Amino acid sequence: MKKLINDPKNVVDESVAGFALAHADLVTLSTEPLFIARSDAPVSGKVGLVSGGGSGHEPLHAGFVGFGMLDAAVPGPVFTSPTPDPIIAATQAVDGGSGVLHIVKNYTGDVLNFETAADLAEAEGITVRTVIVDDDVAVKDSLYTAGRRGVAGTVLVEKIAGAAAERGDSLDEVAAVAEKVVAQVRSMGVALTPSVVPHAGEPSFTLADDEIEIGIGIHGEPGRAKISLEPADQIVDRLLEPILEDLPFASGDDVLLFVNGMGGTPQIELYILYRRAAEVLAERGITVTRSLVGNYVTALEMQGASLTVLKLDDELTTLWDAPVQTAALRWGR
């Protein structure tokens, strides 16, 4: 194993410190307890948005803190949920008087710890709503979840809910928009190689040189099947078919197509996947009106990708297009 680290125990602290230094115009860093917040937080009268989870998925979540998206992100240890204490502190730090929305990926540790933090924040007079993201169609349950996993669709929930909060929607309205995105977004991924957690020093699972895993999670948890490596177009077809059947998507739909890299896959390959996915959608009469391609929800250095499709309407399209200024997403401002 070769990694550009110092002590494995300090990976998250040192990485978050570097992130805060690199983006000091956008964010501020709290070290005790550890969280990243908007530099202008709290924004008076605006609903605050807090998300977080295990590290190793960068730029999720800290990379999405800023105008038009999250107000705070709480990083836990690699692939491990943060404890309630920093979640409570982040919630307090971004409460502008209109309540706080927690956006939580459906992993057992995240759900339990955010739930505990929400209860404690409510006891202190902060109104909290929680939205659980469970967009992965690959498996119903996994090593980490009861029900479907929350994966790349989380980015779309954070962006669209963030825009609703920025325009002045109430807490109930922002939560309703976030729930609408959760209801209309589906994802599925593939791994070509495993990732290596720094403190473990060895791959989190094994794949033969000619094997891939279909339906992989973002922590290396298993998917639907290990199969022999196939051409990219066939892999896209394997990922896209369950997505389209699940909602289901139909001819006449407008959608956002998101091709997400898992950390170790170059852009040249992601655009090959995008090309085929757009082709299949067009054949089904589904129109791609918005798109996103890149490494946004990663699993350390895993080679692989995920496809995400969000059914759009006028409201969601307007909110997606709204200005955003974060380290990882920025347009219109």
102 included as an active-site residue: no
Distance CA 125, CA 224 (A): 44
Neighbouring C-beta atoms of residue 29, cutoff 10 Å: 16
Distance CA 147, CA 108 (A): 10
Query: Residue 296: CB partners within 8 Å, gap ≥ 6?
Result: 59, 60, 63, 152, 155, 258, 260, 261, 328
Q: DSSP string covering 45-96, please?
A: TSPEEEEEEEESSTTTTGGGBSBTSBSEEEEEEETSPPPHHHHHHHHHHH--
Cis bond upstream, residue 42 (ω within 30) = yes
Greatest distance between any 2 Cα atoms in the chain: 56
Neighbouring C-beta atoms of residue 27, cutoff 10 Å: 27
Distance CA 57, CA 44 (A): 30
Catalytic residue among 23, 61, 102, 219: 219
Nearest to 223 by CA among 299, 284, 296, 155: 299
Place of tokens 């129109």: 287
57 included as an active-site residue: yes
Active site residues: 57, 219
